[in-house]
Structure 1
């Protein structure tokens, strides 16, 4: 599966802790992240991760492009709801794309853990149906 890992600045430590805790599960998948988040994950784990630009410089849009062409299966985006983001329109567009394309999306640690536990236990082969081109 293709999994995106994104975190606002005040949530970077949380996504690092999440990546360390679930490294054995995450290493079985293709991982993508925005710039600084991906760098921090690489520095703290042995995970292989493809890094895009930072969120404010288009990284959210790069991940959104993968969603739009049915090339992303899960998005874990630990957001800070208490701080205004300068690229909020990009963030909202990414969340909207997840909804439009039925991509499982976790925006806080609780939902991220439920999603990853579901991956560990369940059969998510139904996601392959989604990847067929839209006609």
Structure 2
């Protein structure tokens, strides 16, 4: 089962996601990959075998592009290596992206340990079930 997978990392975490992608190149190469701005370019340079569709940089709209993909059921897994110790000027975009991931049941890994757990799981090859029914919220303001 081919999945749509996004690879994103804050500046201080870019070296970590690059090494992680190289380590898991064989598995990742079997899926459709998307990367925001610099992260996608750096991974592509380090692992030319990985075909990554480039998106905008996170602060320039890449986070919103990923959010739209999640809402449309077009993203299965988000590997987003976050840096919790550095303030991010687009923090509201990041929070919105993580909120949408939760709402639409998109798998998210925000650190190396979770990313390894997700990619090594036997469920990695199973179809992803996205949430599309929000009828329980019909009478509420979100």
The alignment's TM-score, normalised by the length of structure 2, stands at 0.87
Aligned residue number for residue 11 of structure 2? 9
Aligned residue number for residue 89 of structure 1? 92
Following superposition, the deviation at residue 124 of structure 1 comes to 1.4
Correspondent of 1:101 among 81, 104, 117: 104
Aligned residue number for residue 39 of structure 2? 37
Report the Cα distance in structure 1 between the residues aligned to 2:59 and 2:103, rounded to whole angstroms: 22
Report the Cα distance in structure 2 between the residues aligned to 1:47 and 1:69, rounded to whole angstroms: 24
1:1-135 equivalent positions in 2, closer than 5 A: 1-45=3-47, 46-118=49-121, 121-122=122-123, 123-125=125-127, 127=128, 129-130=129-130
Over residues 23-78 of structure 1, what are the superposed CA-to-partner deviations in whole Å (9 max), with x where a residue is unaligned?
00000000001010000000000200001011110101101110011100000000
The alignment's TM-score, normalised by the length of structure 1, stands at 0.92
Greater C-alpha Rg: 2
Report the Cα distance in structure 1 between the residues aligned to 2:108 and 2:21, rounded to whole angstroms: 16
Aligned Cα RMSD in Å? 1.5
8 A Cα contact 2:106 2:130, kept in partner: no
Gaps of 5+ in 1: none
After TM superposition, the runs of 4+ consecutive aligned structure 1 residues lying more than 2 A away are none
SS in 1 for 2:86: coil
